[in-house]
Amino acid sequence: MRIDIITLFPEFVLQVGEYGVTGRAVECGLIDLHTHNPREFALDAHRTVDDRPYGGGPGMVMKVEPLRAAIGVARRQSPTAEVIYVSPQGRRLNQALVRELAQRESLILLAGRYEGIDERVIEHDVDDEISLGDYVLSGGELAAMVLIDAVSRLQAGALGHEESARQDSFSDDLLDCPHYTRPDTVDGHAIPAVLNGGDHAAIARWRRKQALGRTAQRRPDMIEGVELSAEDAVLLNQYMREIE
Ligand code: SAM
């Protein structure tokens, strides 16, 4: 998957490809990152990329021309990619949207700075707007990096163990179950005995029960949308009785 990022801070964004799962995805060629710095497309001697807002007010706004030129180059190099502006005003990123984006062969991410970008770029050069959530970051780079991380781990072969993506929170509209590792007792707190018993069916049932119970407890909004099987309903009932 090719991902082009339009950013004033390319070195910052490219760090997402230096570590861990995303690092491996880049190293193995599953993810191909390219950056385009609007500053390199600014026409004046000072390489100006921002200007004061019309109508007055605080802060600066990213100018049309350098952004449009950078987007143009990215589009030419990656002709089938949609241009996604990461913005607090976009549709909210969730795992379903990550799954959808991860299937594309290319993306162009546009990271804003300052008060944001000139609205005419959004109207005429951007295909989609995606938000990380209802809060404001000082720049789109971290949002772009989050998106790159989330889609990278869904590329076939990016995770050491494919099963782990299937177990993750949201993969089946449930939160993940709790995880434990050695030692089995810490400060008198032992792991649930079932995990040490070697009964794989019992372990799978326990994990499903925890995932259902946690989701119901922590995210009642999510559990409402889940179609529970008869066994799920029994497990959820057990979980609720056990925590009472
Ligand atoms: N004035 C803008 C607004 O209130 O909608 C916020 C501008 S913000 C300070 C600068 C840049 O950070 C934005 O252009 C956008 O690219 C990025 N950004 C901020 N919050 C974000 C969020 N929740 N999700 C994605 N990108 C965000």
For 49-108, the pLDDT digits (tens) are 999 999 999 999 999 999 999 999 999 999 999 999 999 999 999 999 999 999 999 999
- Beta-carbon contacts of 129 under 8 Å, excluding residues fewer than 6 positions away, are 84, 85, 86, 87, 89, 90, 91, 122
Ligand 1 close to Cβ of residue 140 (< 6 A): yes
User: Is 127 a residue of the active site?
Assistant: no
> Quick one: angle between helices 20-27 and 141-152, nearest 10?
70
Give the Cα separation of 98 and 9 in Å (integer): 24
Token couple for 39: 């500053």
pTM equals 0.95
Ligand 1 close to Cβ of residue 8 (< 6 A): no
Q: Which of 6, 8, 67, 87 to mutate to test the pocket of ligand 1 (most atoms within 8 A of CB)?
A: 87
Of 168, 172, 173, 232, catalytic: 168
User: Is 123 a residue of the active site?
Assistant: no
| Mean per-residue pLDDT over the chain, rounded | 96
Query: Which residue has the CA at smallest separation from atom 9 of ligand 1?
Result: 138
Residue 180 has pLDDT above 70, yes or no: yes
Ligand 1 close to Cβ of residue 139 (< 6 A): yes
